Structures are given as structure tokens and as C-alpha cells.
Amino acid sequence: MVEGGLRGIGQSAGEGSGSDSNREFAQFLNVARRSVFENANILIILHRRGLISEEELNLISKDLDCLCRKLTNFKRTLRSKG
């Protein structure tokens, strides 16, 4: 479940890199960003079910937060360049 969700982040960004415009690419980055939130939710569910530890949850959540910020900043850069 998590593996598939994580692939979706990279696949959306990769697909968007072939876009004809920065605006279209930014839309794909937004899909990738939403996938980050989906993965964060999956992690919370896994933690509540006792399948991952608090330490694992915090570590991966920090990575997802960093990735989300990078996607957001990249999207802003693309939009500012038209």
C-alpha cells in the first residue's frame, strides 16, 4: 500500500516533466504533492494499527514534509516563470 503510494509521487512528477508548459508541469507537481498527503495518512493508519513504531512514523513524516515543501517551492518557481 505504501510502496504504491510512494511510486505515485515520483510518477506524477516524472510524467509532468514531459509537459509542454510550466503551468501544466505545475499541475502534475500538485498531484504529486497530494500523493504526499495520502502517504502521510497511510502512515498514521499503520501506526495506529501497530504496524510501524512512533520513531518510524516521525522519521518518514519528516521526509514527507521535506518532500512536500520541495514540491511546493518547485511549483511556485515554475508558475513564476510562466
- Tens digits of residue pLDDT in 17-53: 888 899 899 999 999 999 999 999 999 999 999 999 9
Q: What percent of the chain has pLDDT over 70?
A: 91
Domain count, the chain: 1
Cβ atoms 42, 19 nearer than 8 A = no
Amino acid identity of residue 72, one-letter, is: T
Q: Assign residue 50 a region (left: φ > 0; alpha: ψ between -120 and 50; beta: otherwise).
A: left
- Domain extent, residue 46, equals 2-80
What's this model's pTM, rounded to 2 decimal places? 0.82
How much is the pLDDT for 62?
A: 97
Give SS3 for 23: helix
